[in-house]
Every structure is written in structure tokens, then in C-alpha cells.
Amino acid sequence: MKNINIYLNFDGNLEDAFNFYREVFQGEYISLKKYMEMPHGDSLVPEDREKVMHAELKIGEGMALMGCDILKTWGQSITRGTNFYINITPDTEKEAHLIFNKLSAGGEVQMPLQRTFWGTIFGTVTDKFQTQWMINLTIEK
């Protein structure tokens, strides 16, 4: 396994928060993608287009803080204390499926592990102990 990072969810203020964290930790952005950049992003309601779909901020050697803004128009909400995921970056697709399947046993899959338009194999699951996990493996397109 390459690493494990914390993934935070925000209610529309991710960019402000991450700019603050960038200053605190002297970090640098690896990625900052807005919802309008996704396929059909222009069909989103205007207030959602500028929200952050995914951000990754390098904050140390081999460490990153990750996050996104939730979209209320998609039925998403934040409950403080559960507004984070533990993000796992496996070494291989086989390892990604193995870990995802084990975490899913007795839990609830929010997004099945699958290839995405942004160039990853990605899925989310809440395990049987209510811990939220992301599996996130970058692949070549």
C-alpha cells in the first residue's frame, strides 16, 4: 500500500479552508478540481459549479490532505464529526479490489469501486463500524 490520507468534506468552503491549511503547513496543491470541470458540469446549478470536486494538498513527505465540497442539490449533507474519509492509495488494482471488498463486508457501499472519468479506480464504503473509507488508485487513461 502506498499511503493512507484523511479526506475532509466541506459545505462549500473547502477552498478557503485548504488555502488556510496550505499556509499553516507550507503545502502545495497537487490537485484542485471544480465540479464545473466534470463531464456535464455546466448542467449543475450555478452555485455548485464553482465548488471543489476534489482537492489534494501536499503537506509533508508522502502526506496529503484531501477533500471536497458536498452538494446539497445531490442530497448530500455534513454531520460534524463524520465529515471525513480515510483515503487509501493501494499499489495495484488487485489490492484495491481486495481491500474494498474486505471493508465492504457488513458495511454499506456508497460508490462501487470502478474506473472514473478523472483517471482513477475509485470507490467509497462505510464499514460495519461506521468508519468511512475511500479507495483511490490513479491509473493511466
Q: Which of 65, 84, 103 is the last residue of a domain?
A: 84
Integer distance in angstroms from the first to the last C-alpha of the chain?
21
- CATH number for the domain that contains residue 132: 3.10.180.10
pLDDT digits (tens, 9 = 90+) for 90-124: 889 999 999 999 999 999 999 999 999 989 999 99
Q: Which domain holds residue 115?
A: 90-141
Q: Are residue 2 and residue 71 in the same domain, yes or no?
A: yes
Among candidate residues 103, 122, 127, 102, the one with its CA nearest the CA of residue 111: 122
Q: How many domains does the chain have?
A: 2
| Average pLDDT of span 123-141 | 86
Q: What is the pTM of this model?
A: 0.70
Q: Which residues pair with 63 in a beta bridge?
A: 60
Q: Which of 84, 103, 130 is the last residue of a domain?
A: 84
Higher pLDDT, 129 or 20: 20
Cα–Cα distance, 59 to 65 (Å, whole number): 7
Q: Are residue 63 and residue 20 in the same domain, yes or no?
A: yes
Asked if 68 and 9 count as a contact pair (C-beta separation under 8 A), the reply is yes
